[in-house]
Structure 1
Amino acid sequence: MRKILLGALALVALPSSANAAAFVNGGFESGVAIGSTGFNTLTNGSTAITGWTVTGDSIDYVGNYWQAGEGSRSIDLSGVGPGGIMQTFDTIVGVTYNVRFLLAGNPDGGPTTKVMSTVASGNLPQISSFNIANSTRSDMKWVPVTYSFVAGADTTTLAFTSGTQTAFGAALDGVSVTAVPEPATWAMMLFGFGAIGGVLRRSRKTGSARAYA
């Protein structure tokens, strides 16, 4: 019985499997080569950044032009004018997801406060802002931000949009999407607990039979 219990408990600890269309490239490291200026301006409809589609007017796909939040690439959500990016990925209806990302702002020009919107399809948007007063290209002062949403369908579109009406927008990097808790983990836990319950019931029945023997 001890071995069976340990085996059932081990099922709880199994890692969750990845979705077929999982969220990808949250650090923007995979994409078209960046030119000698240190950034590429990408216009509406561009898919030059792996997994993402450009929305609005345009964005800047930034390389060594300034300090990235993580890795070596990041995004200015305003290119020539205010733009954005979006990605569609698999979700499970009714499950809550946390979106975490790093926020800064283009320090080259005004306004001092950069504004951006984060929204997942079927949910309300979240407005975030960043003040560039103490930031420079070599020290962008990236800050972590969290946005939560509840999936209303088996796919969700996540969008980040500039709210700054100039070519100097909010900067974005290090995006991640995590279920709370991960659905596969819950499934394994329920299966494991069910197996334990079955073992205990069989054990009680066996004990009762022996008592009457």
Structure 2
Amino acid sequence: MTVTLTRGRRPARLATAVLALSACSVLTAPAAGAASGPILPIGNGGFETPVITGQAYYDTGTGLGAWNVTAGSVDLIGPGGPWPPARGRQSLDLSGNRPGTIEQTFATTVGRCYTVSFALAGNTYGLPVVKTGYAKVTQGTLTTQKDFTFDTTGKTPQNMGYVRERFTFCARDSRATLSLVSTTDGVYGPAVDDVVVIPRPRCIGIGLDIGVGGETSRED
């Protein structure tokens, strides 16, 4: 009898799981005639604006499309510059004439979780060998921070060795500010490209976002 009762419960659990998956599928499936994929809230994530040739320095108070340089200096790298991008035509050295910070404020949906993702490498033309910095999302007094390091040992301008950095935050306001910061001494800093902020799928009726992580913690 015990075996019979155990088998009798399994279909109920399976039905619940199927219902949950169906709810997620309904939410994440694109509507008929709509463009596939989510609408990404970040702008100029590939640093394709402004269009340059070679390289150009941007100091505090200047803009890079949707980004603002809020501290120090950054170095925009274009075609004919010292290294190729991870994607597209341009990338960014977060240390220009000195370590720099860029920021962008974007719209969010309260209660929704998002994954921040970007390509990371390092300027191989000078020391230090290990480049350091962090990415940070700020919502009022709430901060989610991802520290990063990149070791340029064995890397060259022709083989940058880009890696993918990721972290997740959950929106507690209708707007959030993303900052990318170099903490590398000198003028040879972290190289970044292809910054994206991707809304995470949610399950209707369950009240949970999939893949929630790192609300107020520092992620290393």
TM-score category (smaller protein): 0.7 to 0.9
- Range 145-154 or range 162-171, more displaced: 145-154
**Aligned position for 2:128:** 111
The answer to which structure has the higher strand fraction is: 2
User: Which one has a larger percent helix, Structure 1 or Structure 2?
Assistant: 1
Aligned pair partner of 1:134 in 151, 154, 176? 154
**Number of residue pairs aligned between Structure 1 and Structure 2:** 171
Q: Given that residues 78 and 162 in structure 1 are in contact (C-alpha distance below 8 angstroms), is that contact kept between their aligned partners in structure 2?
A: yes
Residue identity in the other structure for 1:41? Y
**Percent identity for Structure 1 against Structure 2:** 33
1:102 aligned partner: 119
What stretches of structure 1 of length at least 5 have no aligned partner? 1-8, 191-213
Post-superposition Cα deviations, 1:57-94, rounded to whole Å, max 9, x if no partner, equal 10001113211111110000000100021111100122
Among 67, 70, 76, the alignment partner of 1:52 is: 67
Q: Is the 1:44–1:55 Cα contact (8 Å) retained in structure 2? A: yes
Where do 5+ consecutive residues of structure 2 fail to align?
Answer: 1-24, 206-220
Q: Equivalent residue for 1:27?
A: 46
Deviations along 1:137-175, one digit per CA (max 9) or x if unpaired, are 111110111021111210100000001011000000011
Structure 2 matches for 1:2-13, cutoff 5 A?
13=30
Alignment check: 8 A CA contact 1:100 1:147 kept: yes
**Offset at 1:46?**
0.8
Partner in structure 2 of residue 40 of structure 1: 56
Q: Distance in 2 between matches of 1:28 and 1:89?
A: 16
TM (norm. structure 1) is: 0.74
- Which letter does structure 2 place at the counterpart of 1:50? G
SS in structure 1 of the partner of residue 143 of structure 2: coil
Change (3 A) 1:53 1:10: closer
Q: State the alpha-carbon separation in 2 of the partners of residues 105 and 26 from structure 1.
A: 18
| 2:95 maps to 1:78 | yes
CA RMSD of aligned residues (A): 2.1
Q: Work out the CA distance in 1 between the residues paired with 2:70 and 2:134.
A: 13
In the alignment, which of 98, 108, 115 is matched to residue 91 of structure 1?
108
